[in-house]
Structure 1
């Protein structure tokens, strides 16, 4: 069974994180949520989530994918944590998937993982100095090899379903999507 890590930092975007967790678990993926520190983590709109564990406890574990939810200041906290950058670089080097939505693709960019790649993000959240190093697209979900990015809360469902298909199969994604009553 595939394993995904979703780090949660104070100020994460709730719609993105919960949609990712829920859809991936419905698809049969093992999702581990990890707070940057112990205890409940409050999202950018005051919704508290109790992570499964701490990042410290799983930072050296094997995952098939790391997915970063956006939100502010959650993205800033993820970007400022050297464990997050090290984990992303290690996973990318091992051939795993790295994914981010909304403001969080900036973390991938700052870790050097979007250089030469096609990517997207929330319109105002990609560091301008890094834009010339990538091909920036205004599409809901962009996949370039093992790097997947998405725009924001409104694209969270498409993003989660894309990730579920990458980790499982098109048939499984279609089944999950049908159960969600998507048009």
Structure 2
């Protein structure tokens, strides 16, 4: 079965963390959550003050030996900034992209993709991505192609807009990792909105 690594920091948007984690588990994906520079060693204080206990409290302990199939970067402005400020996270994003693995980012999370590219572009190409409207200008100003679609897949990058698109984002990841049949199998009992 596929494996996923999802990052969490203080200020991460709860819905954008919990929804992909939950939906991927329903699909049979092995999911591990990892903290990034948490003020409290054992939990993250998210954007709405919900406390979440990651599976692993520190990215530094797992970054060198990460073999997941996808790296997921939730949004939430302060959480995304913590990702952008972490050299370990930026290197991990680069490692996933260099290896041809999936990287998923939602809301302000795509700013981490942009920052990682700025630090070490190498042979990597920019992609068409989407994000929360609040960081659209920042992404466009760095020369990335931008779409206002709810979910965008370009190469091995999947991006989405915000809390309201979290379920669509997660189901798209299920389809990319496990196929259309698994997506339908997971979505059916969840009774998603018809617009998904």
- The reply to whether TM is greater than 0.5 is yes
Residue 149 (structure 2) pairs with residue 144 (structure 1): no
Residue 57 (structure 2) pairs with residue 47 (structure 1): no
Which runs of structure 1 show a deviation greater than 4 angstroms over 4 or more consecutive aligned residues? none
Displacement of 1:57 in angstroms is 1.9
* Structure 1 gaps, min length 5: none
The answer to which of 68-77 and 114-123 deviates more is 114-123
Out of 99, 102, 106, the position equivalent to 1:94 is 99
The answer to which of 107-116 and 159-168 deviates more is 107-116
The answer to which of 56-65 and 128-137 deviates more is 128-137
Out of 71, 78, 82, the position equivalent to 1:73 is 78
Residue 188 (structure 2) pairs with residue 178 (structure 1): yes
Aligned positions, number = 183
| Cα pair 2:111 2:139 within 8 Å, conserved | no
Match of 2:169 in 1: 159
Match of 1:35 in 2: 35
* Structure 2 gaps, min length 5: none
Out of 35, 48, 63, the position equivalent to 1:59 is 63
- If the length of structure 2 is used for normalisation, what is the TM-score? 0.89
Aligned alpha-carbon RMSD (Å):
1.6
Residue 115 (structure 2) pairs with residue 110 (structure 1): yes
The verdict on how the C-alpha distance between 1:79 and 1:175 changes in structure 2, with shifts beyond 3 A counting, is same
